[in-house]
Chain A
């Protein structure tokens, strides 16, 4: 099978390319024209061809879809202002969908996010699965949640209109080398001091390689078509447990300042009331004091991965401890080049 992977140079993208290669697929990896590829872990591997294309450039997309069976759509912009995120996530997707109109037999595996779900109106410790309600307060969420919500909506609408097979995957918090401190834990105030917000809430994490395997499984299996799957690992740790595991891997164990969830919730609510009645809703408060964003990060829920396990047979390859071992394993040092004493004297 030939798989086109957008966003192939990102952390998840690199893992997905490698998972596809391990499963015996051919990969066309999409990378922006200016992106340096030497540090990318699939660079020059057999079975990978690189498409130097920017998804925001609509003209170059039809050629990239030639000979492709499945598109795994990972591309999204996480930083920058609203317009940059909109352009990189939504307009880029509009362009991809326009190209797919000419090739409706290509299957699209869209990587959405937990951020499209709503949290504010739900009870704490509610059960969270694929049928959980979508976010109704999207204007109060951050730009990433806004643009990913619009992105998923236009993809679903296009699939119905054009008829291409669609699988929507919604991973929880993806962690891996270089990004192992989930925002759902709290804050890394410094290398020596961490702030933990909440204690017993399960953290909806998925290790990057586990998540990549789930994506390739969804690309391969026809029974995934038309379905939506959440991706979280088995045996999710609580905030307390995960933070302790992470601390154990640090050269110097950071000090933890715990803040109860209920206190943050009260602060967020007070800030919201102050904004509504004193500032007439005009103030822009930090995410931690914006209830819709605060609840999305720290409110305790119970998460399930039953659907993807039952329907696609996905089994996360690495447990939490194995994942952390892989993230923090020492980088092998290159052996020093032997010095020829005779020639250096």
Chain B
């Protein structure tokens, strides 16, 4: 079996999570890491046994000729780097948001198509254990017909830290929706798993914390699809502790997922009928909560983080590259996510 040569461009925070994928995958060789900081590139290259490190990605493409490139740079340079990689004949796995506009993405997709390469975007949170379980319950009809979905982010990022500090403003402040744009793809691709398309949209972008760096620090948006399913996308910097939750409600049950302290709470039709059913759900949820607590402690010790979905996503993507099949995050998934982002920012939909 031919070994696929992989390279990473950009050795920032998320790169550490990408790197966790390589040691367990024997048919993929990490060949190079490229970063503007020579020390950072060589540190990761040494730690993960990559044979090269570079500060110029074009030189890396020429010398290493990788089969797959992971683009992990800040979003505003995704487009030129992904374009150069696709034109050099590599498959591209890009961090979110893949591009700043939908048109840029469509241009990249055209190049990928004509070169018969895969171009995909990291949709990490679709591939965690709990989300896959939730999605399978929905697909099995455990909640009946889905009526609404809610994606809720609560992050403490407005003061200090990498997003809130004014010392060296984070590059994401320059994105169309400011810092929130960095999180928006997660909300849109998760919403799209349960809704078809946004027919009616109202987006309320606000600035509550007073940090002038932030274009917005709060989003409350409603999306209604042609089947009448409601989606709510909620982002706030003012609720603590930090949380990232998904609620899916149907006419026969509902599921609630928390990513940061992984737990899936499922309330559905269970044995016991209308009288004992609620009690059975209660007991069942109690056991599940204890189980999630134990698994959470074990995960903490074993260094499994909220990014465990990324390894699964990469695994499936490399399988697709090897087999020549469609990747787990398809062109349609990416395009629909970008369409919804555009709609949330569209003047006519603002409240």
Contact = CB atoms under 8 A, between A and B. Distances in A.
A89 to B, nearest CB: 10
A54 B168 contact: yes
Contact of A90 (B16, B39, B302): B39
B239 interface: no
B76 to A, nearest CB: 16
B23 to A, nearest CB: 10
Nearest to A282: B302
A84 B12 CA distance: 9
A155 to B, nearest CB: 11
B39 A94 contact: yes
B301 A284 contact: yes
Given A34-B165, A34-B167, A56-B168, A90 B301 contact: no
B47 interface: yes
Contacts of A91: 37, 39-40
A94 to B, nearest CB: 6
B272 interface: no
Nearest to B298: A283
A82 interface: yes
B21 interface: no
A279 B303 CA distance: 11
Interface string A27-42: 0000011110000000
Interface in B35-66: 37-40, 43, 47
Q: Give the interface size bracket for A toward B.
A: 20 to 34
A5 B291 CA distance: 53
Contacts of A33: 166-167
Nearest to B43: A150
A83 B13 contact: yes
B162 interface: yes
A314 interface: no
B167 A86 contact: no
A99 to B, nearest CB: 15
B40 A90 contact: yes
Contacts of B166: 33-34
Nearest to B300: A284
Nearest to B164: A34
Contact of B301 (A54, A83, A84, A285): A285
Nearest to A285: B301
Nearest to B15: A83
A57 interface: yes
B13 A90 contact: no
Contact of B47 (A56, A90, A94, A139): A139
Contacts of A86: 39-40, 43
B168 A94 contact: no
Interface residues of B, number: 18
B38 A57 contact: no
Contact of B16 (A32, A83, A94, A284): A83
Query: Which secondary structure characterizes the binding site on chain A?
Result: loop
A185 B167 CA distance: 35
Contacts of A284: 300-303
Interface in B162-187: 162, 165-168
A284 B16 CA distance: 15
A25 to B, nearest CB: 26
Contacts of A56: 167-168
Nearest to B166: A34
A83 B166 CA distance: 18
Interface in A70-122: 81-84, 86, 90-91, 94
A248 interface: no
Given A86-B40, A284-B301, A285-B301, A81 B13 contact: yes
A283 B299 CA distance: 9
A82 B16 contact: yes
A154 interface: yes
B169 to A, nearest CB: 10
Nearest to A31: B167
Contacts of A54: 167-168
Interface string B297-313: 00011110000000000
Nearest to A279: B302
A282 B165 contact: no
A271 to B, nearest CB: 11
Nearest to A151: B39
B256 to A, nearest CB: 28
A307 B162 CA distance: 41
A285 B301 CA distance: 7
A35 B165 CA distance: 10
Given A90-B40, A91-B37, A283 B302 contact: yes
A150 B39 contact: yes
A279 B12 CA distance: 28
Contacts of A82: 16
A84 B160 CA distance: 12
Interface string A137-155: 0010000000000100010
Interface in B131-181: 162, 165-168
A33 B169 CA distance: 11
Given A33-B167, A34-B165, A283 B303 contact: yes
B210 to A, nearest CB: 14
A282 B301 CA distance: 8
A48 to B, nearest CB: 20
Contacts of A285: 301
Nearest to A34: B166
A90 B37 contact: yes
Contacts of A282: 302-303
Top 6 nearest A-B pairs (CB, nearest first) are A34-B166, A32-B167, A83-B13, A54-B167, A54-B168, A284-B303
Interface of B: 12-13, 16, 37-40, 43, 47, 162, 165-168, 300-303
Given A32-B167, A33-B166, A35-B167, 6 more contacts: A57-B168, A279-B301, A279-B302, A282-B303, A284-B301, A284-B303
23 contacts: A33-B166, A34-B167, A54-B167, A54-B168, A56-B168, A57-B168, A83-B12, A83-B16, A84-B162, A90-B37, A90-B39, A91-B37, A91-B39, A91-B40, A94-B38, A279-B301, A282-B302, A282-B303, A283-B301, A283-B303, A284-B300, A284-B302, A284-B303
